[in-house]
Amino acid sequence: MDMDETKILIVGGSSGMGLALARRCLAEGSGVIIAWRNAARLNAARDELDRPAALATAMADISREAEVAALFARRLEHIVSTAADIEGAYRLLPEIELSAAQKVVDSKFYGPLLLAKHGAPKLSANGSLTFVSGIAAYRPAARGSVVAAVNAGLEGLVRALAIELAPIRVNAVSPGWVDTPIWQFVAGDAKDETLAAMAKRPPAGRVGRPEDIADAIRFLMGNGFTTGTTLHVEGGQRLV
């Protein structure tokens, strides 16, 4: 697919996987809008990408329907959400606070639902929506029940939306362990040690990089014969 002049909205594009995708799309000549609720992070991303002519930013909390609707003042070709608010979510069942669980649901389920509701009418028939689920849906662990359940729910939503919104394509990418800032919430000061130990486990012999996931999302955006699919990018982690 020729990406020149393509308009792409990336929710969560201020860091990690979303930022890597924004960088790649800008390099291909696309116009990119990155959206998140934190102005400081948006400003930092704009400075890092250094592409003011092709890059726009938008403040939005995707758990708030009015703010999602306001993102779609013009037509787009592709919508991507890498957003995940998991702070406080990785807890054993007796310790789980509903407020933390609700943030995961808002960012990884209701947010994509609202993006589809308000964004699909602004997409061309060749457009796409791509969301990010995760390995927890397939390899759940203690402390990860909320994230596992929401990832699985998101993938169910993707399949249903692929039918309802056709011919617009709707897909998900399911990453394994990827070295992104989100691990600060999962492992805290033990982030580097935790990821180093994890790198020894999957057949690929390493943890993922944000660019790995950006490549997968870019494939789903460009492949016109893929919809209702979850693309696993996890170094073979599901096999072990």
Question: Which CATH number fits the domain that encloses residue 14?
Answer: 3.40.50.720
Q: How far is Cα of residue 7 from the mean position of the Cα atoms in its chain?
A: 17
- Domain tally, the chain: 1
| Domain contains 1 | no
For residue 82, the number of C-alpha atoms closer than 13 Å in the C-beta half-sphere is 27
Work out the number of other CB atoms within 10 angstroms of the CB of residue 127: 23
Residue 31 lies in a domain: yes
28 occurs within a structural domain: yes
- Per-residue pLDDT at 185: 64
pLDDT value for 74 = 84
Residue 113's domain comprises 7-239
Catalytic residues: 133
| pTM passes above 0.85 | yes
Q: Assess if residue 48 is contained within a domain.
A: yes
Distance CA 68, CA 15 (A): 19
Residues in the chain, pLDDT under 50: 1-2
pLDDT of residue 4: 52
Question: What is the Cα–Cα distance from 181 to 76, expressed in whole angstroms?
Answer: 28
pLDDT of res. 113? 98
Q: How many CB atoms lie within 10 A of CB 176?
A: 24
Residue type, 202: P
Task: For residues 221 and 158, give the distance between their C-alpha atoms in angstroms, rounded to a whole number.
Answer: 14
Tell me, yes or no, whether 2 lies in a domain: no
